[in-house]
Amino acid sequence: MPRIFLYEFATGGGFLGDRRHPPPDSLLREGAAMVAALAEDLVAIGARVEMLLDDRLAQLAPQQNERNGLPRFAARQNAPVCLHRVRTAEEEQAAFAELAAVCDATIVIAPELANALWDRCRRVEAAGGKLLGPSVATVALASDKHATAEHLKRFAVPVPPGWRVGPGGAVPAEVEFPAVGKPCLGAGSQGVRLLVDRQAAEAWAANLQEPSRIERFCPGTAASVAVLCGPAGLFPLAPCQQRLNGDDGFCYQGGSLPLDRHLAQRAVDLAVRAVATLPGACGYLGVDLVLGADPKGGDDFVIEINPRLTTSYVGLRAAAAEDANLAAAILAACEGRVPRLSFQPVAVQFEPDGRFERHALHHRPTAQVAPTNARA
């Protein structure tokens, strides 16, 4: 039975550095949903799962835990899921290093904020552990939205034209409006702003506290594609449509699948092209896209690459065939085997907190999109 250290930043003590405040609600809901789903799938294939739990969350009232999606794994206090409560940042760091060293492998789920994802992946390697995911170098690249866009542009992968803007920096004269401003190191739509004109952009830039990117606003359908990666190739999964709203239209509200068939192949093709440029791609990566009005894909753009598990995992596992296991598919890809995964003829709508609705469709099940060994 493999022993897997499954670490999720928001629920696992990543925010213990600030004892006064618990993790932000949005990151906590999504983090809890992802880690609970993946833990359940790992247990189903016979793994023993080790996890950290921020002690402040363990002490929440039942209704608060229910809101954050915690009971599904917090109730499991015995094997095959073992929870390790951590009360301080020092305890979290020590427990992380110990589990990364003694477990057979580690899966890290963390936001790119302040390089948290890169830092935890680096710690796995420093502890002599085995990281089930992209290389540290790939995580460093993909965590930075501007660096990722510049990298993809060099490989002729379409991205919105954009520029890096430092704290207090000037807005480049070339920027066309409306535009989008966002932190270079961001996650969960945190800090993303619609900038309708130059005056709004200059006010945004004047108040920046961290390196950011300003890019052209690209209208279209917001979509995501998860790609499983490993020595055997790239394995794109069923594309999802994203639901975004809020004051600026960028607040993530979950997603749905299947994506309209006229858009699905365009989404898959572009996501594979993007991931194929990353030499250290391994495990599960999510690609966020905008699919424009041109039916030939001339207005399609890659917005970002998430070098980690994404919230789409909860929707994809809800659509997977009964004999399929998404965690098993991830492990297979990492180990150089061809993952076996197919999807039921269902429509799934999923929420950021892991809830979903599933309805039958009247056509045959969708097989996994054909694997590819494409490289840019």
Q: Write the CATH number for 38.
A: 3.40.50.11770
Residue type, 126: A
- pLDDT band at 61; cut points 50, 70, 90: very low
Structural domain contains residue 150:
no
- Whether 249 and 347 share a structural domain: yes
Query: What tokens does 39 get?
Result: 């833990």
Separation between Cα atoms, residue 348 and residue 368, nearest integer Å: 16
Length of the chain: 376
Provide, rounded to the nearest whole percent, the portion of the chain with pLDDT above 90.
79
Taking the C-alpha atoms of residue 190 and residue 184, their distance in angstroms, rounded to an integer, is: 11
Domain final residue pick, 175, 190, 216: 216
Note whether residue 50 is domain-resident: yes
Average pLDDT over residues 357-362: 90
In 3D space, the residue among 372, 199, 343 whose CA is nearest the CA of residue 271 turns out to be 372
Of residues 8 and 189, more confidently modeled: 8
Please report whether residue 143 resides in a domain: no
Residues 228 and 362 in one domain: yes
- The per-residue pLDDT for 248 is 66
Higher-confidence position of 363 and 238: 238
Per-residue pLDDT tens over the stretch 272-320: 999 999 998 999 999 999 999 999 999 999 999 999 999 999 999 999 9
Q: Give the distance from CA 325 to its chain's centroid.
A: 18
Which domain CATH number covers 327? 3.30.470.20
d(CA 81, CA 73): 8
Tokens of 213: 């990117």
Contacts of 256 (CB under 8 A, 6+ apart): 240, 241, 243, 315, 347, 348, 349, 350
269 and 238, same structural domain?
yes
> 171 and 74, same structural domain?
no
Sign of the Cα pseudo-torsion (115, 68, 33, 286, in order): negative
Give the residue with greater pLDDT, 78 vs 168. 168
pTM: predicted TM-score of the whole model, two decimal places: 0.91
Domain that residue 92 falls in:
3-132
| Amino acid present at 234 | L
User: Could you tell me if 211 and 229 lie in one domain?
Assistant: no
pLDDT tops 70 at residue 343: yes
Query: Strand 179-183 vs strand 193-195: parallel, antiparallel, or unpaired?
Result: antiparallel
More confident residue, 248 or 376: 248
Distant-in-sequence, close-in-space partners of 276: CB < 8 Å, separation ≥ 6: 234, 372, 374, 375, 376
Cis peptide before 258 (omega within 30 of 0): yes
Q: Are residues 233 and 202 in the same domain?
A: no
Residue 178 maps to which CATH number?
3.30.1490
Q: Which two tokens stand for residue 107?
A: 């899966």
Q: Is residue 71 very low, low, confident or very high in pLDDT (cuts 50, 70, 90)?
A: very low
Nearest to 317 by CA among 309, 334, 276: 309
Amino acid (1-letter code) at residue 13:
G
Q: Are residues 186 and 233 in the same domain?
A: no
24 found inside a domain: yes
- Same domain membership, residue 21 and residue 103: yes
Mean pLDDT of the region 4-12: 97
| 374 within some domain | no
State which amino acid sits at residue 287: V
Residue type, 256: S
Selection from 293, 321, 311 nearest residue 349 by Cα = 311
- Shared domain for 48 and 119, answered yes or no, is yes
User: What pLDDT sits at residue 363?
Assistant: 61
pLDDT averaged over every residue in the chain: 90
* Number of domains within the chain: 3
Is the confidence at residue 332, as pLDDT, over 50? yes
Same domain, 174 and 279: no
C-alpha distances in angstroms, 81 versus 84, 235, 247, 271, 315?
10, 29, 40, 34, 23
Q: Is the pLDDT of residue 42 over 80?
A: yes
Report whether pLDDT(183) > 60: yes
Query: In angstroms, what is the C-alpha Rg of the chain?
Result: 20
- Alpha-carbon torsion (239, 245, 249, 250), positive or negative: negative
Query: Tokens in use for 194?
Result: 């619609």
Indicate the residue among 188, 216, 244 that finishes a domain.
216
Residue 66 CB partners (closer than 8 Å, separation 6+): none
Q: Quickly list DSSP for 313-338.
A: HHHHHHHB-TT--HHHHHHHHHTTPP
112 and 238 share one domain: no
Cβ neighbours of residue 8 closer than 8 Å, sequence gap 6 or more:
31, 32, 34, 35, 51, 109, 110
256/349 same-domain check:
yes
Residue from 13, 10, 20 nearest 93 by CA? 13
**Domain-located, residue 139:** no
* Amino acid identity at 109: I
Q: Is residue 154 part of a domain?
A: no
Asked if pLDDT for residue 7 goes beyond 90, the answer is yes
225-247 pLDDT per residue, tens: 999 999 999 999 999 999 988 66
Is residue 146 assigned to a domain? no
Which of the listed residues 132, 152, 186 is the one where a domain comes to its end? 132
Share of the chain above pLDDT 70, in %: 89
